Chain A
Amino acid sequence: MIIETPNSSVGKLNAQEILQAINVTISYSGNPAIDNLSLSVPEHQITAVIGPSGCGKSTLLRSFNRMNDFIPDVELKGRILYMGEDLYSSEIDPVEVRRRIGMVFQKPNPFPKSIFQNVAWGPSINGYTGSLEERVEKSLHQAVLWDEVKDRLQDSALELSGGQQQRLCIARALAMEPEIILMDEPCSALDPISTAHIEDLMFELKLRYTIIIVTHNMQQAARVSDFTVFLENGRLVEFGNTQEVFTRPKEKRTEEYVTGRFG
């Protein structure tokens, strides 16, 4: 399936697209942070969003689960489609959007509760009627944290190390069984070993989920992702297969960025 998008390069996708942005412009108090951007995110793949500081990566990510709604004076033009439905239509409940599109933040931020309560909280407030214990265990397994915490589920989440806390936050997001997981620089506050753990984790996760990861670390993007989106100044410069974007980029600007001529 070929996606025609204005002012960007064409990428050939073989996968079903689960999320689409069509001519999206996001402005804060009149100043555009994302300018007329269109792209498609393929299912069950890892899509990395890269670009220099301030290019709008986080803004874009947060628009996918309507977390930008909390910022005063923000305006979104264009459409963002999830499985064909416009996420910003006035009929759609943002709370429902966030149940299906989860998020992991840059700095690990578990709730000041027990490990168990952290993972169980999402499903329980959303009316989960099944067994919370099973759900928690399943999510912790998926986040490759179960073995480390299974004997101390009632301990405070704040006692875990940074890397463990971030995996807990991933488990917390997984407990909602979302379709898409948004990750906003999830490893930038972690040490290299924890980072490696989480990168391994992502390969496992993409079998069941779709992952969109914002990262300022190009090597990480190259290591981990299947598709890469390169943004600059709120505009989409290039989008395509990670291999191609990094080795045979179509745009000069892309080449300059990935070879480190500016950052």
Chain B
Amino acid sequence: MLDSKLSGFSSAQINKKRFRVGEEIVRGLLFLAAFLSVITTFSIVAVLAQEAATFFSEVSFWDFLSGTKWTPLLEPRSFGVLPLVGGTLLIVVGAALIAIPIGLASAIYLAEYSSDQVRSVVKPILEVLAGIPTVVYGYFALTFITPLLEIVLPSTKIFNAASGSIVVGIMVLPMVASLCDDALRAVPSSLRQAGYALGATQFEVILRVALPAALSGIMASFVLAASRAIGETMAVTLAAGATPNLTFNPLESIQTMTAYIVQVSLGDTPAGTVEYQTIFAVASLLFAMTLSLNIFAQKILNRFREVYD
């Protein structure tokens, strides 16, 4: 019997299938650990939906989504979320204006032009940029960018959207750079070779061959960056302000969805009140927005992988 003793030659008879208790227990525990992610997602949805449902039993869904005044904590109360959404979008657009050009340009530089030496310096620096906590960026926006803006554009308020969006842009650009870099490097060099063989210059190969080939990956990176910018909290809380204000003027003070949630929780809001429920309503909207963007980006990326697999 080849069970607990291996001695001499193994016997010819093979042991019957054993239910290895230890193995199954381990497998079960590992599975539970993995399944926790499903439980987490479910919990997030349940938690948000429950309170949001209560909220929407008192406030009309349409008023929420289309109203332009957000004053849930003051009389007269108004629950139109558009100012918060507007504030968030203002930040995202501003951030995109910074992150996309610089991120994409860096990726092109790293993937197409630079030597390995330069790459080994620049990539880590970008990673450091990505690793700096958002609070630090908020501080930077408040104490450096805003004063700078005030000098250049005197109508800038102390709390303004521009400062917040610049800093969110800086925060998000390493992500754009990294993803676009990956996308460009995934383009087979044979494609570029074909371009060169037809007499194209390096710039033309990049513009006409590499970038179009990497387009899905690049677009996905933009979408993911937008999603990240939407979810950004501390920098905008510090720099952009706490005044829900539906405006296109980035020099004014605004409030993002995330900053609003922080504001309410910094105060003492008893559970069960409408003010408390606004947290969940806004958070549900936030969650829905980022989730859709992430799914959208994933779809773009999947189409990208199909082409090369």
Which of A1-9, A50-58, A127-135, A230-238 is near enough to bind chain B?
A: A127-135
Cβ contact within 8 Å between A127 and B5: yes
Binding site for A on B (CB under 8 A): 2-10, 12-18
Interface 0/1 of A123-148, CB less than 8 Å to B? 10011111000000000000000000
Chain B residue with Cβ nearest A127:
B4
Q: What residues of A have a CB within 8 angstroms of the CB of B4 in the complex? A: 127, 129
CB pair A130 B17 closer than 8 Å: no
Selected from B6, B15, B16, the residue in CB contact (under 8 A) with A128 is: B6
What is the minimal beta-carbon distance from A136 to any residue of chain B, in angstroms?
13
Question: Which chain A residue shows the least CB distance to B3?
Answer: A127
Interface pair A177/B16, CB less than 8 Å apart: no
Q: Which residues of chain A come closer than 8 Å to B2, judged between CB atoms? A: 96, 99-100, 126
Whether A91 contacts B6 by the Cβ 8 Å rule is no
> Can you give 7 A-B contacts (C-beta < 8 A)?
A91-B17, A96-B15, A97-B14, A100-B14, A128-B5, A176-B10, A178-B10
Contact partner of B14 (CB less than 8 A), chosen from A90, A92, A176, is: A92
Contact partners of A97 in chain B: CB under 8 A: 14
Instruction: List the 9 closest pairs (A to B, CB-CB), nearest first.
Output: A93-B17, A83-B12, A128-B6, A127-B4, A96-B15, A100-B10, A96-B14, A91-B16, A129-B5
Chain B residues near A199 (CB-CB < 8 A): none
Give the chain B neighbours of A96 by CB distance below 8 A. 2, 14-15, 18
List A residues 138-187 near B (Cβ within 8 Å). 176-179
User: Interface on chain A toward B: helix, strand, loop, or mixed SS?
Assistant: loop
Please determine whether A179 and B17 come into contact, CB atoms closer than 8 angstroms: no
Check B9–A177 contact: CB distance below 8 A.
yes
Q: Which residues of A contact B3 (CB under 8 A)?
A: 127
Tell whether, in the assembled complex, residue B6 and residue A130 are in contact, meaning their CB atoms are under 8 Å apart.
yes
Contact A179 B14 (CB under 8 A): no
Judge if A69 is at the interface, Cβ distance under 8 Å: no
Beyond the given A93-B15, A100-B2, A100-B14, could you list 17 further A-B residue pairs with CB under 8 A, ordered by the A residue number? A82-B14, A83-B13, A91-B17, A92-B16, A93-B18, A96-B2, A96-B18, A99-B2, A100-B10, A126-B2, A127-B4, A127-B6, A129-B6, A130-B5, A177-B8, A177-B10, A179-B10
Least distance between A212 CB and chain B CB atoms (Å): 17
Q: A83-B12, A179-B12 are in contact. Are A90 and B17 (CB under 8 A)?
A: yes
Q: Is the CB of B16 within 8 A of A93?
A: yes
Q: Are A99 and B10 CB-contacts (below 8 A) given A127-B3, A127-B5, A129-B4?
A: yes
**Complex CA–CA separation, A123 to B2 (angstroms):** 11
A256 within 8 A of B: no
With CB as the reference atom, state the residue of chain A lying closest to B5.
Answer: A129
